[in-house]
Amino acid sequence: MPASISPPLRTVCEYSPEDSRALRRHDITTKAFLDLPRELLVEMLKLLDYREITRCRRVCSTLNALIDANTTLLYRIELGIEGLIDGPASGPCTSERLSQLLERRNRWLTLDWSHVLPLTPQEVIPQSPLPYELQGGTFLNIRNLAGQITINQTLLPTGLNPNPEYSHHVLDMKVLDITTDPTQDLIALLDVFGRVHVWSLSTYTAHPKAAHPLLRPEGVANLLITSVYIAHDLIALVEWSECVHVTIWNWQTGREILVGIESSLPYLTTGLAFLSPRIFVLADASRGELVVFSLEAVDCLSPTFPQTFRMLKPCARLQLPRIDRGWHISHFQLDSTPLLSHLPRTRPFSAAPDAHIVVFTMQYVTHNHRRMSSRYMGFVNSTHLRSYTTPCAEGESWPKIVPWAQWGPKNARVMTRYIVGAAFARYVHGQKVVYSRAHQIPDRQLISVYDFNVHPKRIAAATRTPTAGGVEIVQTEEQLLDDPAGRARTLVEVVDWPTVIKRDSQEALQYHPFVEDVESGLPYIEISRLVEARDEAGVKKTASYMMDDERLIELRLHGEGETSTDSVQVYTL
């Protein structure tokens, strides 16, 4: 028979006796399954993944009606669509959780916040270069007032409790960096001598699970730039002094797991992000690569001796777009959602830790420093980076060297960064990123949230109606900026076309250093809304934003030449 001619379809009577018996058995099996008690069918469906439950809806009208009538199954589906996991059983009932989830989705997709609350500015002042942290609904910052070092803790307002709670603790040391995991009652503080203190967040004393509450008691001198990260039982520290150091400890046992310094660190490490408790990615500014490592085969509890980066081979090296000779990276930073060890007790649901966006920000300069590039922001899903930790196929080299053309155009998004004001950390949470964008409307601030969860149901929810809640949905930026004093408006745009940065081109006084056009197409939903730029004495009308799962935190900068903040506002969604 020619390949282009399909065989005719057979009727039931044309099947062999064996085929006919199989069809009858299938019909009987399906009928017997659907004849089971509805309660039993529901319990069986609860064992399935949300994608499988969704597929079952398309099998027949009986299963579709059964799922539609069951709140637990609907909730399971919506959790999966949002990239969330269910919270503690002691919280609200399932129907209430489903209602909260759908309301939260609609508010985020339209930036329709439920209320806006200013925080006491004296309590929340991220004084540069003093450290601060936003984690699990808790904001912490260090203050140095008249020589007294204080750590301020603010429990941020929620939809159910709009009143913030403030507390303070006086420290007897100067602190360079802090990070926390409230679900473990854990705070890690890096002091000016390079020692890491592992404390309880509730008591500010040694954590009861830490065998050695002071990591690296000998310290390190002349620290310049530092970043501390927590991932379950691991603490990572990237620091620059006379050279670059990267150290990972198990904070519970106090043992060093991985150490890199000078000759044992063959990467110019400028950033780190955990993709899971045992997988992380480094920013290597010397080669312009994202380097993925796995600790799955490493003893991360009590090793006899720590691994070095010469011993631990990377899983993959993902190359950034190629640049012209005469240019090099001058800035290469990673930002992502910190990994919490447990689900927050006060949340009905939380962002799934295995699906979040990693932001890589880079800038280039010529060797003679006469030309500087634009600053670029790039986005990639952590799931894509983790996919490179799978074993190599037969004959494939290790580590995997992945040119930009093989991974970037379909799995990343790189764009020129049109951002105003300073960039505070914690501007990315889960699959969302928040920025303050430039515009031409006086006395207004433009907030933009990039949402990389583009499930079709979320797109339908975002573009469903021209009016949603307390805001009007518009289709163009011109409509958004028209009549800024009128009703609140939100621009919702599904960006599913590629961004193209032309090679050897120039924007204003900044250049693009790339050898070829840089095209990238990771889809996202952009949600933008104008807010009033509060006119306060000595306060700029530009702002920076941080975010977590249920709020945006606006930080307004002080007067020209100063970096402190005296105006903080929380938008609760």
Q: What is the pLDDT of residues 177-192, one digit of tens each?
A: 999 999 999 999 999 8
Stretch 114-139: mean pLDDT: 72
Give the pLDDT score at 183: 92
Provide the pLDDT confidence category of residue 394 given band limits of 50, 70 and 90: low
Provide the pLDDT confidence category of residue 508 given band limits of 50, 70 and 90: low
For residue 365, is it within any domain? no
What is the rounded average pLDDT for all residues in the chain? 84
Check whether 289 has a pLDDT greater than 60.
Answer: yes
For residue 331, is it within any domain? no
For residue 405, is it within any domain? no
Q: At what angle do helices 38-45 and 71-82 cross, to 10 degrees?
A: 20
Choose among 207, 42, 133: nearest CA to 426. Answer: 133
Give the pLDDT score at 536: 52
For residue 59, is it within any domain? yes
Report d(CA 129, CA 224) in Å as an integer. Answer: 11
Give the pLDDT score at 201: 93
**DSSP-derived 3-state class of residue 54:** helix
Work out how many domains the chain is built from and give that number.
1
Q: Which two tokens stand for residue 474?
A: 């518009």
pTM for the full predicted model: 0.88
Q: What are the C-alpha distances in Å from 509 to residues 124, 365, 371, 416?
A: 36, 13, 9, 14
Give the pLDDT score at 397: 72
Sign of the alpha-carbon torsion through 559, 560, 564, 570:
positive
| Amino acid at the residue 475 | Q
Indicate the helix (H) or strand (E) that contains 545: strand 543-547
More confident position, 535 or 206: 206
Give the pLDDT score at 101: 94
Residue-wise pLDDT tens digits, 133-176: 888 888 888 887 777 888 988 888 887 788 888 888 999 998 88
Stretch 234-244: mean pLDDT: 90
Give the pLDDT score at 115: 87
**DSSP-derived 3-state class of residue 16:** coil
Residue found by looking up tokens 């919280």 in the block: 91
For residue 62, is it within any domain? yes
For residue 336, is it within any domain? no
Provide the pLDDT confidence category of residue 30 given band limits of 50, 70 and 90: low
For residue 48, is it within any domain? yes
Give the pLDDT score at 471: 85
For residue 201, is it within any domain? no
Residue-wise pLDDT tens digits, 301-322: 999 999 999 999 999 999 999 9
Q: Which two tokens stand for residue 433?
A: 């990123």
Q: Residues 6 or more apart from 356 whose CB is under 8 A from it?
A: 336, 337, 381, 382, 428, 429, 430, 431
Tell me the residue range of the domain where 62 lies.
33-106
Report d(CA 431, CA 527) in Å as an integer. Answer: 13
